[in-house]
Structures are given as structure tokens and as C-alpha cells.
Amino acid sequence: MPRAESFALDLPSPLGAVASGAGWQTTRVFQAPRRFDLIGLGWRPGDRVQAQVRARRGGGDWTRWANLHDAGDHGPDAGGGAAGTDPAWTGAADEFQLRLNGRPRELRARFVRSAPAARAARRRSMLVRAARSRQLGGPPIIARAAWGGDGVTPRAGPAYGQVQLAFVHHTVNANDYGPEDSAAIVLGIARYHRDHNGWNDIGYNFLVDQYGQVFEGRAGGIELAIVGAQTQGFNSVSTGIACIGTFTALAPPAAALDALAQLIGWKLTLHGVPVQGKATVTSTSGAPARFQCVSGHRDGNATACPGDVLYGLLGDLRIRAAQYAGPPAGISVRAAATTLRGVTSALLSGALRFADGSPAAGAPVEILYAPSGSALTVIASARCAADGQWSTTVDLPRTGTIRARFPGDATRGPLESGPLAITIVPRLALAVSSSRIRRRRRLAVGGVVTPATERDVVVSIERKVRSGFRSVRRRRARLRNGRYLSTFRLRRRGLYRVTVSLPGASAQRIVRVTR
């Protein structure tokens, strides 16, 4: 079976450009290494460049000039956006020409050939629809396998966040594509994002073409809160939906707007988010921000996306999406205390409700836990009462994140709560061999840390002087089975303060040294 290909071409400097006014330059015609369907540009990080491209096949007619938009406002929250442009769909071509405003360094053309692979995937799967969206009352969604996504293996497993709003994008390619081209466009974007931008997977969670076809984007599950790479700073609290085309001067066709409304109404309902409400979220920088629950990319980043006309239609889109929204569904989790001092047992509770109003009595709830930097694992389970409420007690080995999940059944899809951070602060017990000791004798300092941690404790010795206490010794003491022990020889008489500390916890004792 044919597979999508990604390749690149380093462009010479100088480019042999001819000035065409207003700082723009038009390059000579370049021959690509082989046939391509999608093209973008990369350059050295920090360069500011505007770019346009056109392409042709075998010396035939040129495509229209297409704007190549800076990709800096897309991308994962960790690692930032790509240095270069988003890709533009050209259809099958082997020659291209650029218009540039600026002086890019280390300029490189980046290509994807995706049409043969997408056609093969379509024939193989006969446009298999994602049945899961049907079960959950959503629109028909074309699964990754049907557009060739099984040939775009993510670099790592999916990350899970929270869906508190939806960001609407456009892909900024020409609108003169046919419905049979859409799968190849999606596959081309996916390969470009993964192979050229170095991202984990395609950035968008969903894509909608101008014919009303909805495509599954980033892998991990259409019903789950998969973290994409679409609105930098807010990826973990949103879902990203891209409209295939350019909607700066033109509106999406009615079929596209209706499919977009169905998708948004279903997806936000699935996560208990009101379509016509507002959400206050926190960016990765820690700053709070307030958005409409259906917002445009430009609301979160400095960009023209999703185009002036489509952005102006968002108010109408919210009304349309509300017609497809069902009763809020979701599962919640809360803790009697989110900071546990000296204990590891947490009392959790929450509620489960379904969009179709079906009873939650007896429904299973899984408790997932992840220490910092680790994957989620199931550590406990519970059953819902008649009113959908549930509760359970769990033991946590250390600070981490908790989620509640309904795993799904024969008629109802899975639901997952947002994250709940639980902080475990150890309790320190401190003892000294004597509170009064002769100088030059050894002072033993020991105790117990509950619960035991993998960190070493820090033991500090300070001597009383007129201005306060002055440090004389500082040492790490290794924990063994939650216990620590260290000895000191104090050579001068006086009053000493002994402090043992861990992040978030400390204990002190006073010792007098005599002759």
C-alpha cells in the first residue's frame, strides 16, 4: 500500500529573487525533489518573515498564490511553536515559487505527498465512520484509519487535559478542493505537523471540510479530553477544531457550518460545558483568562485565525451548536482535603450524569492516579448511588493528580473528569540525644518522616549570637525506611537551634552546649 511521504529541500541563499514592491520579493521557480501535495517553509528560530507560495505540475497552470501563515501560535505548550509556516495544500505538483517579505535564514521548503496514501486508505476502509460518536449522539466522524492516520504513528501516547472550551481554526489552504481531496489534506497536515514541526501528532483534535465531512484528528479517543497542539498556552483546557480552507473573505458553506455546529454541540455537551457560556481558565504561564466556550484561535493568540468572516460567524455558530447540545453530561471528582499532612488516605466523592438522562445507579467509577511526570493508572473503584453520587477512600503514595472515569458500557460512552491535584505534605518527627550536652561530645539528631519519601532531609545547626542565629553546620541525612539519623560534634558552648526540613515541612529543637 502507498504511504505518505515527508521530505524537504534546502533553498539556496541568495534565492535569485526579483523585487516586486513593498518589500516583497519573488523567487525563481524551484523544482521539488519529487511530486508533492502540500508545502510549507521552515527557517531559523527568531526570524520574522511573511511568505506566499504557488505551485504547478509538469509546467502546467499555476495555482493561485496562497498565504503561508506563521506557525508560531500553534504547537505544544512545552517546546513552543515551529519556526516557519503552517502548510498549504497545492494538489499534485512538482514545481513551486515563493514570494517573501523578510530575510529568512536557513530557509527550507517542507513537503508532504499524501494523496495516493489517502486514496488507498479510503478504498481499504470504505470511509469507515467512528461508531463511538454515533453511540454518544454525535455527528458521523471519519476515523483516522479512513484518511490514512494509522500511517502517522504518534511519537508518544496521548496526554489528557480538560475540555472547558472549543477553539475554532482554519487551515489557510485554497477552497477549490473537492470532497475526495479532504482526506489527503488531513493526512498531509498530520505528516507535516509530526515530521516537519516535530510534534507528537497532528495538532487539531478535529477537522471539518467545506462539504460537511468531519475527521478525527489527534489520536487518543474522540470522546476524551486529548491535549492537542492548536492554541498555544491553552491546549490542555480546550479542544481544537480546524475548518479546511481559508475564510478571511469567504464564509464556509452551509454544510460546513452545520457540521461544525453539530460537532461543537456534541463535544462540549460530552464534557459538561455549556455551548453559550463562558469559561475562566488558566494558561500555562499561570495567568487566568476568560473566553466564550466557543472561541476563535485569535482570542487566545496573536493571529488572524480563523479568518475575519468565520470569526464574525461565531455568534451564530454558538446558537446553532446549542440546538445540537444535550443535557450536560459528565463525571466530577472532589476531595475532602486536597492537602494531606502526614497521611496518605484521601476521601474522594463526585457525581456521574449522562446526556440521555439514563440512570447512573450502580454505574462503575474508576479512580485514576498519576504522580508528577507519570502516566495515569487505575488505583481504586466505586459504584454510583441511585442519584449518581459516588464516594471512596484511596491511599496515595505521594503527591499527584486524581481523575474519575466512567469506562463506558454497551450503550454509553466513557466519561472522564478533569484533574484534581492532591498534595501530600510529610510530617517530621525530630529527636536529639540530649537537650543539654558538653562541648566536643557528639549530638545525635534523628527521627521519622511520615509518610516515607524518597527525598533526603536537611539538618541545619545554628548557634545563637546577638543578632539572632548563625549557621554553623548544614548536612543532608538519607532516609532509610522513613527514618533518618545524623551526628554532630559541637565545639563551642552556647545555645543551638537544630532544624530538620523537607519541602513543605520542618521541625526544630533547642540544645544547650556547656563546658
Q: Per-domain residue ranges for the chain?
A: 5-112, 115-324, 330-425, 427-514
Q: How confident is the model at residue 131 (pLDDT cuts 50, 70, 90)?
A: very low
pTM score of the predicted model? 0.70
Architecture label for domain 5-112: Sandwich (2.60)
CATH of 330-425, one of 2.60.40.10, 3.40.50.1470, 2.40.30.10, 3.40.50.2300: 2.60.40.10
Q: Are 115-324 and 330-425 in the same CATH fold?
A: no
At 442-466, the pLDDT tens digits run: 999 999 988 877 778 999 999 999 8
Lowest mean pLDDT of 6-20, 166-180, 200-214, name the range.
6-20
Arch. (CATH architecture) of 427-514 = Sandwich (2.60)
pLDDT band at 201 (very low <50, low <70, confident <90, very high): very high
User: C-alpha distances in angstroms, 147 versus 7, 195, 215, 394?
Assistant: 20, 17, 8, 43
Cell representation of residue 201: 501528532
Q: What is the mean pLDDT of residues 272-294?
A: 87
Domain 115-324 belongs to what architecture?
3-Layer(aba) Sandwich (3.40)
- pLDDT single digits (tens) 98-112: 999 988 899 999 999
Mean pLDDT of 244-271: 93
pLDDT value of residue 172: 87
Indicate the pLDDT class of residue 73, thresholds 50, 70 and 90: low
Say if residue 292's pLDDT is above 90. yes
Pairing, β 330-331 against β 389-395: unpaired
Share of the chain above pLDDT 90, in %: 57
133 has a pLDDT exceeding 80 = no
| Vertex 455 angle, CA 452 and 459, to 5° | 100
Burial state string for 398-424 with b = 16 or more CB within 10 A and e = fewer than 16 = bbbbbbbbbebeeebbbbbbbbbebeb
Class of residue 447 by CB neighbours under 10 A (exposed 0-12, middle 13-18, buried 19+): buried
pLDDT at 127: 45
Position 364 scores a pLDDT of: 96
